Amino acid sequence: MPRIRLCLRWGEIEEFSNAKALKGGNALQKGNIEAKQGRAGWAFVTPATVMIFIMSFYPMVEAFITSFRTGSSAAMKWANPFSFNYTRMFQDKVFVTSIGNTFLYLIIQVPIMLVLAILLAQILNNRHLMAKGWFRTMIFLPCATSLVSYALIFKSLFSTNGLINSFLVNLHILSEPYNFLGHPASAKIVIILALIWRWTGYNMVFYLAGLQNIDYAVYEAAKIDGASSWTTFWSITVPLLRPTIVMTFIMSINGTLQLFDESVNLTNGGPANSTITMSHYIYNNSFGTGVANFGYASAMAFLVFIMVAVLAFINIKVGDTRD
């Protein structure tokens, strides 16, 4: 009997050892596969990471260092005091004007554009609407237009001998052509209209994608409960679209604070710098006026960066509904 038990136990030990060895082999094989996948992942990610660092982060660091220097590009020296460029900004009347202009465009244009985009997306999300694809394409098409091209088109439309003036004069709304781009208030309105025309369709696509992810049964249930279209929109559509709204708001703020093409190509910042934007003024100090004042331009660029970061942070916190 003892011999039989010993044999049985020896067999169990041998079987256990084989199972353990097999398990260890599987674990080793799994570890090798994971290591290969990890190396493959780094092989794909590393080139893009290196390029982003070289093309984005390194220039940002260099620009921050440059913001503490003064003089032209050929003979730059450290500012005395270091904060010279940053204090100079708020004494520069043109830069203060550019900040006011940029935030005016932001406050007026962004809400109008996003509200129009949501309403258009809601209309075009109707499954019973005929020719939805055609309407979506026509509304989205402006954002496929070149920034320079569409700015020049608006400039020709609102010129003194342009289509808008001819139309208004023929309808006897105006007795003579009006110089829309020659007056500060009307020039700003033209820029705002151009921005709304260019970017509404772009944001509409995001809202349309968000609406199509909402189960249509939710709307049917609200309709059965007797909810009106307005109540359904505010109680169902807007809350479910909140993440998309926050995202488009942040992108729109970011784009408007860096507004450049419209100011340059529509009005060239005029009349008398009344429509100039921050990015346009930064460009003028860097390349546009013949004096490469990179130190001062870098300081202004970092102020824009801080504005974008702060407003984006506020929007994220306001739009975050997590407990």
Q: Number of C-alpha atoms within 13 angstroms, CB side, residue 207?
A: 29
* pLDDT higher than threshold 90 for residue 75: no
Residue 175 CB neighbours (<10 A): 8
**Residue type at position 148:** V
User: pLDDT tier at 10 (50, 70, 90 boundaries)?
Assistant: very low
pLDDT digits (tens, 9 = 90+) for 125-147: 887 788 888 888 898 888 888 88
The torsion region of residue 162 among left (phi > 0), alpha (psi -120 to 50) and beta comes to beta
Helix (H, G, I), strand (E, B) or coil at 275: coil
What pLDDT is stored for residue 320 in this prediction?
Answer: 64
What pLDDT is stored for residue 169 in this prediction?
Answer: 92
Say how many residues make up the chain: 323
Measured distance CA(124)–CA(234) in Å, rounded? 17
In this prediction, residues 292-320 reach a mean pLDDT of: 85
Residue 290 CB partners (closer than 8 Å, separation 6+): none
What pLDDT is stored for residue 15 in this prediction?
Answer: 52
What pLDDT is stored for residue 31 in this prediction?
Answer: 62
Helix (H, G, I), strand (E, B) or coil at 134: helix
pLDDT digits (tens, 9 = 90+) for 175-220: 899 999 999 999 999 999 999 999 999 999 999 998 888 887 888 8
* pLDDT higher than threshold 90 for residue 315: no
Measured distance CA(18)–CA(30) in Å, rounded? 18
